[in-house]
A and B are shown apart, each in its own frame.
Chain A
Amino acid sequence: DQQVKQNSPSLSVQEGRISILNCDYTNSMFDYFLWYKKYPAEGPTFLISISSIKDKNEDGRFTVFLNKSAKHLSLHIVPSQPGDSAVYFCAATLRGSNYKLTFGKGTLLTVNP
Protein backbone atom coordinates (compact mmCIF):
# COMPACT_ATOMS: atom_id res chain seq x y z
CA ASP A 1 0.00 0.00 0.00
CA GLN A 2 1.35 3.39 -0.97
CA GLN A 3 2.30 5.51 1.99
CA VAL A 4 3.06 8.62 -0.06
CA LYS A 5 0.50 9.58 -2.67
CA GLN A 6 0.57 12.15 -5.41
CA ASN A 7 -2.91 11.87 -6.84
CA SER A 8 -2.42 14.22 -9.78
CA PRO A 9 -0.28 12.59 -12.47
CA SER A 10 0.00 15.89 -14.33
CA LEU A 11 -0.54 19.63 -13.97
CA SER A 12 -0.43 22.38 -16.56
CA VAL A 13 -0.06 26.08 -15.70
CA GLN A 14 0.69 29.33 -17.49
CA GLU A 15 4.04 31.02 -17.13
CA GLY A 16 3.97 33.56 -14.32
CA ARG A 17 1.11 31.89 -12.47
CA ILE A 18 1.33 29.75 -9.33
CA SER A 19 1.90 25.99 -9.53
CA ILE A 20 0.60 23.95 -6.60
CA LEU A 21 1.68 20.34 -6.33
CA ASN A 22 0.05 18.19 -3.71
CA CYS A 23 1.13 15.17 -1.71
CA ASP A 24 -0.67 13.07 0.90
CA TYR A 25 0.79 10.55 3.26
CA THR A 26 -0.64 7.87 5.51
CA ASN A 27 2.14 7.10 7.98
CA SER A 28 2.06 9.44 10.97
CA MET A 29 5.61 8.38 11.85
CA PHE A 30 7.03 10.29 8.88
CA ASP A 31 8.93 13.24 10.30
CA TYR A 32 10.75 14.75 7.33
CA PHE A 33 9.51 15.51 3.86
CA LEU A 34 11.36 16.33 0.65
CA TRP A 35 10.55 17.41 -2.87
CA TYR A 36 12.65 16.31 -5.81
CA LYS A 37 12.50 17.48 -9.40
CA LYS A 38 13.35 15.25 -12.36
CA TYR A 39 14.03 16.22 -15.94
CA PRO A 40 13.99 13.56 -18.69
CA ALA A 41 17.22 11.54 -18.93
CA GLU A 42 18.44 12.92 -15.59
CA GLY A 43 18.23 11.69 -12.03
CA PRO A 44 16.01 13.41 -9.47
CA THR A 45 17.51 16.54 -7.90
CA PHE A 46 16.70 17.78 -4.43
CA LEU A 47 14.54 20.87 -4.34
CA ILE A 48 13.32 21.67 -0.84
CA SER A 49 12.48 19.92 2.42
CA ILE A 50 10.52 20.43 5.61
CA SER A 51 10.67 18.95 9.07
CA SER A 52 7.49 17.86 10.81
CA ILE A 53 8.10 20.47 13.51
CA LYS A 54 7.47 23.21 10.95
CA ASP A 55 4.50 24.07 8.79
CA LYS A 56 6.24 26.13 6.14
CA ASN A 57 9.63 26.35 4.49
CA GLU A 58 10.51 28.81 1.78
CA ASP A 59 13.39 28.97 -0.68
CA GLY A 60 13.12 31.60 -3.36
CA ARG A 61 10.21 30.79 -5.65
CA PHE A 62 9.56 27.49 -3.88
CA THR A 63 7.53 27.10 -0.69
CA VAL A 64 6.50 23.86 0.95
CA PHE A 65 3.54 23.76 3.33
CA LEU A 66 2.90 20.94 5.78
CA ASN A 67 -0.46 20.18 7.38
CA LYS A 68 0.22 17.37 9.82
CA SER A 69 -3.36 16.96 10.97
CA ALA A 70 -4.43 16.38 7.37
CA LYS A 71 -1.24 14.44 6.52
CA HIS A 72 -0.87 16.69 3.54
CA LEU A 73 1.91 18.75 2.06
CA SER A 74 2.08 20.99 -0.94
CA LEU A 75 4.75 22.63 -3.03
CA HIS A 76 4.05 26.12 -4.35
CA ILE A 77 6.07 27.55 -7.20
CA VAL A 78 5.53 31.23 -7.89
CA PRO A 79 5.98 32.61 -10.41
CA SER A 80 6.15 29.48 -12.55
CA GLN A 81 8.68 29.42 -15.37
CA PRO A 82 8.92 27.15 -18.44
CA GLY A 83 12.17 25.73 -17.02
CA ASP A 84 10.17 24.39 -14.08
CA SER A 85 8.53 21.86 -16.41
CA ALA A 86 9.57 18.50 -14.95
CA VAL A 87 8.31 15.60 -12.86
CA TYR A 88 8.07 16.48 -9.17
CA PHE A 89 8.38 13.74 -6.55
CA CYS A 90 7.30 14.00 -2.96
CA ALA A 91 9.27 11.85 -0.49
CA ALA A 92 9.18 11.18 3.23
CA THR A 93 11.43 9.64 5.87
CA LEU A 94 10.58 7.84 9.06
CA ARG A 95 11.77 8.88 12.46
CA GLY A 96 14.80 6.69 13.17
CA SER A 97 15.32 5.69 9.51
CA ASN A 98 16.38 8.99 8.07
CA TYR A 99 18.21 7.40 5.15
CA LYS A 100 15.15 5.60 3.80
CA LEU A 101 13.09 7.72 1.41
CA THR A 102 9.54 6.68 0.53
CA PHE A 103 8.53 8.30 -2.73
CA GLY A 104 5.25 9.19 -4.39
CA LYS A 105 4.68 8.40 -8.06
CA GLY A 106 5.35 11.95 -9.17
CA THR A 107 3.44 14.76 -10.87
CA LEU A 108 4.40 16.01 -14.32
CA LEU A 109 4.31 19.81 -14.31
CA THR A 110 4.12 21.63 -17.62
CA VAL A 111 4.55 25.40 -17.59
CA ASN A 112 3.31 26.93 -20.83
CA PRO A 113 4.91 30.14 -22.15
Chain B
Amino acid sequence: ETGVTQTPRHLVMGMTNKKSLKCEQHLGHNAMYWYKQSAKKPLELMFVYSLEERVENNSVPSRFSPECPNSSHLFLHLHTLQPEDSALYLCASSQRRGGGHNEQFFGPGTRLTVL
Protein backbone atom coordinates (compact mmCIF):
# COMPACT_ATOMS: atom_id res chain seq x y z
CA GLU B 1 0.00 0.00 0.00
CA THR B 2 1.15 3.50 -0.73
CA GLY B 3 -0.01 6.96 0.24
CA VAL B 4 -3.04 7.30 2.47
CA THR B 5 -5.63 4.54 2.60
CA GLN B 6 -9.09 4.60 4.12
CA THR B 7 -11.54 1.84 4.95
CA PRO B 8 -14.34 1.29 4.36
CA ARG B 9 -14.89 3.27 1.17
CA HIS B 10 -18.64 3.25 1.67
CA LEU B 11 -20.66 2.88 4.86
CA VAL B 12 -24.39 2.89 5.50
CA MET B 13 -25.46 2.93 9.11
CA GLY B 14 -28.53 3.51 11.22
CA MET B 15 -28.70 6.23 13.84
CA THR B 16 -28.29 3.74 16.68
CA ASN B 17 -25.27 1.93 15.21
CA LYS B 18 -21.65 2.23 16.27
CA LYS B 19 -19.02 2.07 13.55
CA SER B 20 -15.43 3.14 13.00
CA LEU B 21 -13.58 4.63 10.06
CA LYS B 22 -9.95 3.70 9.62
CA CYS B 23 -7.12 5.62 8.03
CA GLU B 24 -3.53 4.53 7.47
CA GLN B 25 -0.69 6.56 6.03
CA HIS B 26 2.40 4.95 4.49
CA LEU B 27 4.36 8.19 4.04
CA GLY B 28 6.20 8.45 7.35
CA HIS B 29 4.34 11.63 8.23
CA ASN B 30 3.92 12.93 11.77
CA ALA B 31 0.49 14.58 11.50
CA MET B 32 -2.92 13.22 10.56
CA TYR B 33 -6.25 14.90 9.95
CA TRP B 34 -9.96 14.17 9.63
CA TYR B 35 -12.04 16.32 7.29
CA LYS B 36 -15.74 16.30 6.48
CA GLN B 37 -17.07 17.22 3.06
CA SER B 38 -20.82 17.75 2.87
CA ALA B 39 -22.67 18.42 -0.35
CA LYS B 40 -22.07 21.95 -1.66
CA LYS B 41 -19.86 22.86 1.29
CA PRO B 42 -16.11 23.29 1.57
CA LEU B 43 -13.98 20.67 3.26
CA GLU B 44 -14.23 21.21 7.01
CA LEU B 45 -11.35 20.32 9.29
CA MET B 46 -12.57 18.15 12.18
CA PHE B 47 -9.49 16.94 14.05
CA VAL B 48 -5.72 17.22 13.84
CA TYR B 49 -3.23 14.90 15.47
CA SER B 50 0.42 15.84 15.57
CA LEU B 51 2.86 13.30 16.99
CA GLU B 52 -0.19 11.36 18.15
CA GLU B 53 -1.53 14.21 20.27
CA ARG B 54 -4.74 15.95 19.34
CA VAL B 55 -3.89 19.57 18.57
CA GLU B 56 -7.13 20.69 16.99
CA ASN B 57 -10.74 19.89 17.64
CA ASN B 58 -13.04 22.13 15.66
CA SER B 59 -16.09 21.98 17.94
CA VAL B 60 -17.07 18.63 16.54
CA PRO B 61 -20.03 16.90 18.27
CA SER B 62 -19.07 14.19 20.76
CA ARG B 63 -20.79 11.55 18.62
CA PHE B 64 -17.54 11.69 16.61
CA SER B 65 -14.61 10.33 18.60
CA PRO B 66 -11.12 10.24 17.07
CA GLU B 67 -8.30 7.94 18.07
CA CYS B 68 -4.66 8.01 17.01
CA PRO B 69 -2.83 4.99 18.43
CA ASN B 70 0.39 5.71 16.49
CA SER B 71 1.69 8.05 13.81
CA SER B 72 0.49 5.80 10.99
CA HIS B 73 -3.07 5.09 12.05
CA LEU B 74 -6.09 7.25 12.70
CA PHE B 75 -9.63 6.18 13.54
CA LEU B 76 -12.93 7.99 13.71
CA HIS B 77 -15.42 6.24 15.96
CA LEU B 78 -19.06 6.99 15.20
CA HIS B 79 -22.07 6.52 17.44
CA THR B 80 -25.67 7.73 17.45
CA LEU B 81 -25.15 9.76 14.30
CA GLN B 82 -27.78 11.92 12.66
CA PRO B 83 -28.84 11.91 8.99
CA GLU B 84 -27.14 15.31 8.54
CA ASP B 85 -23.83 13.60 9.34
CA SER B 86 -24.02 11.89 5.96
CA ALA B 87 -20.98 13.13 4.05
CA LEU B 88 -17.59 12.20 2.62
CA TYR B 89 -15.04 11.80 5.40
CA LEU B 90 -11.47 12.39 4.29
CA CYS B 91 -8.30 11.55 6.09
CA ALA B 92 -5.03 13.35 5.35
CA SER B 93 -1.45 13.31 6.57
CA SER B 94 1.50 15.68 6.40
CA GLN B 95 5.00 16.14 7.73
CA ARG B 96 4.84 19.04 10.14
CA ARG B 97 8.01 21.09 10.38
CA GLY B 98 8.43 24.08 12.63
CA GLY B 99 7.90 27.30 10.71
CA GLY B 100 7.44 25.67 7.33
CA HIS B 101 4.48 24.93 5.15
CA ASN B 102 3.85 21.54 3.71
CA GLU B 103 1.05 20.03 1.71
CA GLN B 104 -1.36 17.47 3.03
CA PHE B 105 -1.85 14.14 1.32
CA PHE B 106 -5.41 12.87 1.26
CA GLY B 107 -6.95 9.43 1.23
CA PRO B 108 -9.85 8.54 -1.09
CA GLY B 109 -12.46 9.11 1.61
CA THR B 110 -15.30 7.14 3.17
CA ARG B 111 -18.76 7.94 1.82
CA LEU B 112 -21.01 7.74 4.90
CA THR B 113 -24.80 7.53 4.74
CA VAL B 114 -26.81 7.71 7.95
CA LEU B 115 -30.35 6.43 7.67
Contacts and interface: CB of A to CB of B under 8 A. Distances in A.
Interface of A: 2, 4, 32, 34, 36, 41-46, 49, 51, 89, 93, 98-106
26 contacts: A2-B42, A4-B42, A42-B108, A43-B6, A43-B92, A43-B109, A44-B43, A45-B105, A45-B106, A46-B103, A46-B104, A46-B105, A89-B42, A98-B99, A99-B33, A99-B48, A99-B50, A100-B45, A100-B48, A101-B43, A101-B104, A102-B42, A103-B42, A104-B42, A105-B41, A106-B42
B101 A101 contact: no
Contacts, number: 57
Contacts of A43: 4, 6, 90, 92, 106-109
B109 to A, nearest CB: 6
Size range of the interface on B? 20 to 34
Which 6 residue pairs across A and B have the least CB separation, nearest first? A43-B106, A46-B103, A103-B43, A103-B42, A32-B101, A44-B106
B25 to A, nearest CB: 12
B69 interface: no
B54 interface: no
A98 B42 contact: no
B31 interface: yes
Nearest to B9: A41
A43 B88 CA distance: 10
